[in-house]
Amino acid sequence: MNRRGMICASLSLIPAGLGLAPRAAPAQTGEAPTLAPLNTAWQAWKTANLTADGRVVDAYQEGASHSESQGYGLYLATRFGDGDAFRRIYTWTEANLAIRGDGLLAWRWRAEATPPVEDLNNASDGDLFYAWALAAGAEPFGLPEARGRAAAIAAALDEVCLRPLPAEPGALLMLPGAEGFDRPEGVIFNPSYWMPRLMTELGTEFDRPRLVQAAEAALRQLGAFAARGLAPDWALATEAGWQPPPAGFSANAGYEAMRLPLYLCLSGQGGHPLVARFAAAYAAAMAGGDATPTVMDALTGAVQERSPHSGYAAIAGLSRCAAPASGTGLPIPLFTIDQPYYPATLHLFVLIAQLEGFPACVPI
């Protein structure tokens, strides 16, 4: 389930008007910018990563497709108003990953495997992005059945993938997947699977208040991680509080956790303390012009791995620019397709966040 193995805020701070709506120009308070400046990047992303039949290929992971890649692709198609890409991704995903029986998606498909889906477990972040995009794109793309699928996924996330936080009675958090994360000693969570805006909007749209509660709890817990350092890729929740995860799960702030400042910025949470924590860590680690850290010690910020891919540099730049009192910050590089699926996709997400919420963070 570790797809990257290879390679104290309140929801009241989320801006009003960010409801489920398909758009190249998302509905926000006041005059919203459009995504038109990013259309060339979107076309390049599709050429590099999307097959004719609607499969988003992660070449760095054995050419696999997973619910994350399909969910990310469908989210982008919705945001860019691309009905053709939406239909292709939706059709392939339903035919190949929607095979569990509870509405959720199997997490990975590989052409070389027999059968192509070797593990029926889901990945809740992929389900979350996929369901949000289905709900947003159903009406404008003329696919009313997509809304029903979104409702089914929202129900399954609510009923199957939410767990109480042992140390905080009444609090709920979203599991990484339906199976395998409940342990006798506690519950294993992946904080980067918590995307506050999408959880809130999906829960509101389909009257699933527990998803909204889980988004609120996620923001609190991300604040708790920020109080002591960076958020880790994986952590074990126990009655005594957060503990390192079991063997086989990364306790570093790596390829998973790096998404968190980006998700917070996309959720209108640029002032969240975890964004500031990542901003400071990036500033210290890149002071000499070094390549972007991709794996850091979650407590000390010590760099364990770096990458030259511009998508990771874009996250560092957005974090520095969004964080309060961060000065001029680091530059956000312009999009390039000369990078693998994962950093390229995160790069496009960064540019959407910048265009919509951080106009002063001009890409260079």
**In this predicted model, what pLDDT tens digit does every residue of 194-252 receive, in sequence order?**
999 999 999 999 999 999 999 999 999 999 999 999 999 999 999 999 999 999 999 99
Q: Which amino acid type is present at position 343?
A: P
Q: What is the pLDDT of residues 156-201, one digit of tens each?
A: 999 999 999 999 989 999 999 999 999 999 999 999 999 999 999 9
Q: What is the pLDDT of residues 253-286, one digit of tens each?
A: 999 999 999 999 999 999 999 999 999 999 999 9
CATH number at residue 144: 1.50.10.10
* CB atoms closer than 10 angstroms to residue 172: 20
147 part of a folded domain: yes
For residue 294, what are its two tokens?
């991709």
Q: Which amino acid type is present at position 54?
A: G
Dihedral of alpha carbons 286, 259, 351, 64, sign: positive
Residues 6+ apart with CB under 8 A from 83: 77, 137, 140, 141, 142
93 part of a folded domain: yes
Residues 6+ apart with CB under 8 A from 306: 290, 291, 292, 293, 294
Which neighbouring-strand residues pair with 178?
none
Q: How many domains does the chain have?
A: 1
Q: What is the pLDDT of residues 64-96, one digit of tens each?
A: 999 999 999 999 999 999 999 999 999 999 999
> What's the mean pLDDT in 325-339?
78
Q: Where are the alpha helices (DSSP H) in 233-340?
A: 259-266, 273-285, 310-322
pLDDT at position 22 over 50: no
d(CA 58, CA 29): 36
Q: Which has more confidence, 119 or 2?
A: 119
For residue 223, what are its two tokens?
């604040």
For residue 157, what are its two tokens?
């996330």
154 part of a folded domain: yes
For residue 20, what are its two tokens?
């489920």
pLDDT, position 324: 64
d(CA 148, CA 134): 9
Q: Does 179 qualify as catalytic in the annotation?
A: no
pLDDT, position 331: 80
For residue 346, what are its two tokens?
């995160």
pLDDT at position 2 over 60: no
- For the chain, give the number of residues: 364
Which neighbouring-strand residues pair with 188?
236
pLDDT, position 261: 98
136 part of a folded domain: yes
Domain hosting 95: range is 36-160
CB 246 within 8 A of CB 188: yes
pLDDT, position 46: 98
Catalytically annotated residue among 58, 84, 119, 125: 125
Give the predicted TM-score (pTM) of the model: 0.92
Q: What is the DSSP letter of 56?
A: B
Token pair 């945001």 in the structure block, residue: 79
pLDDT at position 319 over 60: yes
Peptide bond into 261 cis (omega under 30): no
Beta strands 172-174; 292-296: pairing state: unpaired
Catalytically annotated residue among 58, 68, 127, 256: 68
For residue 352, what are its two tokens?
């959407």
302 part of a folded domain: no
273 part of a folded domain: no
Each as own residue / partner, the long-range contacts of residues 31-38 (CB below 8 Å, 24 or more positions apart, any chain) are 32/356, 33/355, 33/356, 33/359, 35/79, 35/80, 35/352, 35/355, 37/355, 38/80, 38/335, 38/348, 38/351, 38/352, 38/355
d(CA 338, CA 31): 33
104 part of a folded domain: yes
178 part of a folded domain: no
* CB atoms closer than 10 angstroms to residue 33: 14
Beta strands 241-243; 292-296: pairing state: unpaired
Q: Does 68 qualify as catalytic in the annotation?
A: yes
Per-residue pLDDT band for 323 (boundaries 50, 70, 90) equals confident
